[in-house]
Amino acid sequence: MKKYICIIALALIAASCSLKEKSYSQVDDSYITDASLAENVLLGVYRNMNTDGVYRLNLTMLFDAPNDQIRGEGNSLVSQRAEAANAFSTTSSYVQDTWAALYKGVYNSNYFLELMEKKLPEFPDDDKALGGVYIAEARALRALYYFELVRWFGHVPLLKTTAESYLPYDKFVQADPVEVYQFIEADLKYAIENLPWADTDNIRKDNSFRFSKGAAMGLLTKVYCTWAGYPLQDRSKWAEAVGVASELVHSGHHALLSDFDQLWYNSGNNVWDCRESLIEQTYYSPLGTTASCGRVGNFNGVAAVQGTIRGNYHFSFMRVMPTFIAGWKDYDNDKRWAISFADYEYRKEGRVQIVNMNVGGVPNTPVSFKMAMEEDTPYWQIGWRATYNYRLFCRKWDTEVYVKDDNQISDQNYTNVNWYVLRYADVLLLYAEALNEMSGGPTAEAFEAVNQVRRRGYGLDIQTPSAASDLPSELGYEEFRKAIQDERAYELAFEGHRRQDLVRWGIYVKTVQQAYVDMGVWHYMAPQYYIGALYTKEGKHELLPIPQREKDLCIQFKQNPGWDGDN
């Protein structure tokens, strides 16, 4: 059973501008007298990750859509369906919530760091080293919040102190994104220097789901690869990414789990395995409450009608694109294929195939997605594909497969399933990509990094070369780049990385439009369920808009391209 941690969280006092924050009055200078009390406040800084605006909903699931893997349910624009289809405006409450939540995280990080700067010298000598680690954690968290701000919103205010949050509205300005990236880089380099490795940490009593040296290095790798891509395209950062990723990969402190399926048993049951999990958002609330739980598995899992599962039911708003599953290369041998999607759902009669039709004179024959995707399917059987146009689900978070009874929560909207923000497999693929970009072609090290991920996906020994899984060694620069793009799609399917990957590669809108065409080839009715392609525009949807409320108050703010007048 998950451990329930009571924390003192830093909180937002209602204000007309999300940049203006204030902490609870009882958390003042006199509160922090030792490392134990400092940790209570630090956990409040972590708590900002568990909000709908950050990793409980918006940045993990809702705003990742639409892409070429996943979309929102239905073909209307009611409520969150507009956000999942890029049909929202600058007044979207979801956009506002994400902006506010991230700046709350920044403020709380700044507040904690300022408290520690003042109070750490007064700590007992035995607590000072631990307090230093907490400072490094807070700087890593601040870097994470700013990284999400700059890559989703582009030109954002850079507030380095709490005092800057209290400027008059007309004094707030947006920083050059390069300045924001440099600030993130400095925070993460500090964290790398001052955090212990997760597997040899003898300073913190419990480092579960907490930042470590490896987590900070992995995040910095991702920051450099994003910095090197669209829109800043600073190609010098590919070498920087190679440098930090190489140190992480060769450190021996992190590795892939041997079984891909084990990742989802771990996330479903609060199992902290620091070998592959670098940054992970953990969710838990005691049975019957929802204070600290999440939406993983309910919002993005396998559909279940009311009363058919232990958690009552799953809405399953996020839907898998059939064209992505049908176009998966070598799906017969890649074990990740069947693990990633569900062509079944939970009904009163139990787990059932979504499509059941008359096949060969036999009524109610279960028709798997694999049967529906076969190219030699007779024309009259193409109707099998119709239901899969809009009812195909993410399986990685199937609570009935991966969650044990003692981790179930009896609530129709929430679960205790964790979310991987950053996995070691992600870093390996970034490392391979950076090597290819830096060198103008793949190196032996690049091939080995991506092949380790592929071998695990094929159920093979990670360290043993295999012709069954490994990429052809004769691939050149362009072919290897495309192979990495495909591999990131397969390994990280539906894990909230796809849209940002497509954006930094400069192909987001092009890919969404091509997916619309592919849906029409798959089945003539399919495009009507991919309405996001009708609203996604080049030069606009690579970024979210600056929330209209913030722009109205902070008169020096400029709106992102394409969003002016869109409210």
CA distances from 511 to 156, 478, 529 (A): 27, 17, 16
The domain boundary residue, chosen from 344, 375, 401: 401
**Which amino acid is present at 127?**
D
Both 7 and 140 in one domain: the answer is yes
**Structural contact between residues 418 and 484, judged by C-beta atoms closer than 8 angstroms:** no
Both 146 and 22 in one domain: the answer is yes
**DSSP string across 241-299:** HHHHHHHHHTTSS----S-TTHHHHHHHTT---TTTEEEEE-----TT--TT-B-TTTT
Final residue of a structural domain among 401, 436, 464? 401
Segment 7-25 shows an average pLDDT of: 46
Average pLDDT, the chain: 92
Strands (E), 321-361: 341-342, 344-347, 350-353, 355-359
Question: Residues 31, 168: one domain?
Answer: yes
Domain for residue 179, yes or no? yes
CATH of the domain at 558: 1.25.40.890
35-47 helix and 93-119 helix, angle to the nearest 10 degrees:
170
Name the residue among 417, 407, 411 with its Cα closest to residue 290: 411
Query: Average of pLDDT values for 131-158?
Result: 98
Measured CA angle at 428 (ends 268, 137), to 5 deg: 65
> Are residues 180 and 317 both part of a single domain?
no
Q: Are 190 and 312 part of one and the same domain?
A: no
22, pLDDT greater than 60:
no
Count of CB atoms within 10 A of residue 406's CB? 11
309, 179: one domain: no
pTM greater than 0.85 (yes/no): yes
Please check whether residue 232 lies inside any domain of the structure. Answer: no
Distance of CA 311 to the CA centre of its chain: 24
pLDDT digits (tens, 9 = 90+) for 529-561: 999 999 999 999 999 999 999 999 999 999 999
Q: Among candidates 133, 181, 145, 116, which has minimal Cα distance to 46? A: 145
Look at residue 540 and tell me if it is in a domain: yes
* Cis bond before residue 472 (omega within 30° of 0): no
Neighbours of 462 (CB within 10 A): 14
Which structure tokens are listed for 220?
């910095």
Closest Cα partner for 323 from 530, 510, 483?
Answer: 530
Q: Which two tokens stand for residue 420?
A: 């991987």
Q: Of 227-231, 304-308, 552-556, where does mean pLDDT reach its minimum?
A: 304-308
What is the C-alpha separation between 115 and 127, in angstroms, rounded? 15
Going by C-beta distance under 8 Å and a sequence separation of 6 or more, which residues neighbour residue 166?
A: 20
Q: What angle do CA 531, 535, 540 make, to 5 degrees?
A: 145
> What is the mean pLDDT of the segment spanning 68-97?
95
Domain membership of residue 264 (yes or no) is: no
Q: What b/e sequence results for 283-306 when a residue is b if at least 16 CB atoms lie within 10 Å of its CB, and e otherwise?
A: bbbeeeeeebbbbbbbbbbbbbee
Measured over the CA atoms of residue 177, residue 81, residue 303 and residue 522, the dihedral's sign is negative
Does 319 lie in the same domain as 173? no
The pLDDT, as a whole number, for residue 26 is: 42
Residue type, 314: H
Q: 3-class SS at 351?
A: strand
Residue 374 lies in a domain: yes
Report how many domains make up the chain: 2
Burial class (CB in 10 A: 0-12, 13-18, 19+), 334: buried
Cβ burial 59-76 (10 Å sphere, 16+ → b, else e): bbbbbbbbbbbbbbbeee
Residue 377 lies in a domain: yes
Using CA atoms, how far apart are residues 18 and 82, in angstroms rounded to an integer? 23
Last residue of a domain, one of 401, 416, 449: 401
Tell me, yes or no, whether 24 and 148 share the same domain.
Answer: yes
The DSSP bridge partners found for residue 350 are 347
pLDDT average, residue stretch 324-328: 97
pLDDT reported for residue 155:
97
Tell whether 175 and 308 lie within a shared domain.
no
Here the tokens at position 473 are 């060694």
Cβ pair 339, 261 in contact under 8 A: yes
Range with the poorest average pLDDT among 121-135, 152-166, 276-290: 276-290
Confidence of residue 122 (pLDDT cuts 50, 70, 90): very high
Nearest to residue 497, comparing CAs of 64, 154, 58?
64
| Residue-number span of the structural domain to which 144 is assigned | 1-194+532-567
Other beta carbons within 10 angstroms of residue 201's beta carbon come to: 17
Does residue 500 sit within a domain?
no
Which of 212-221, 259-268, 363-372 is least confident? 363-372
- Residue 341 — φ and ψ, nearest 5°? -135, 160
* Residue of 329, 299, 304 lying closest to 316 (CA atoms): 299
177/315 same-domain check? no
Query: 């954002």: which residue's tokens?
Result: 156
Structural domain contains residue 45: yes
The predicted pLDDT at position 352 comes to: 95
Question: Do 25 and 163 lie in a common domain?
Answer: yes
pLDDT at 299 over 60: yes
As a whole-number percent, the residues of the chain with pLDDT over 70 amount to: 93
